[in-house]
Amino acid sequence: MTVDEAISDLLAISTDIRRLAVYDTDGALLGAGPAGVVAVADAAADGLWRVAVEAAGADAGDAAGAPLEHVAVDLGDAAVVALEAGGRRIVALTAAAPPLGLVLFDLRTCLADAFPAAENA
């Protein structure tokens, strides 16, 4: 399954996820949906992740904590959820107050469908 197919499948079944994009850890766009979505939010998605990583590091103090796996930002009428797994990031725009556990599961599943070899690496 390609990245675009995995994105299309997720958008077809999710009642919460409205738009999403998949990036490598260098910030290069690997796919986005729904079809025709221009990755206007590239800088915003990368900036969101970097600020969250810095904030998590500051909160951890000197303790060696686990790396940041996900971040969710409530926007009132929507939310932005970003997850990193298998050397890739996936960022979704959701409906308001999404069930975070389910959204994270769906995002992980999308990455696993698009990159099955990375799951076993």
Residues 32-80 pLDDT 10s: 888 655 554 555 666 666 667 676 665 544 445 567 788 888 888 888 8
CATH number of the structural domain spanning residue 61: 3.30.450.30
Q: What is the dihedral of CA 42, 43, 47, 50, to 10 degrees?
A: 70
Q: Which domain holds residue 114?
A: 3-119
Work out how many domains the chain is built from and give that number. 1
Predicted TM-score of the model (pTM): 0.80
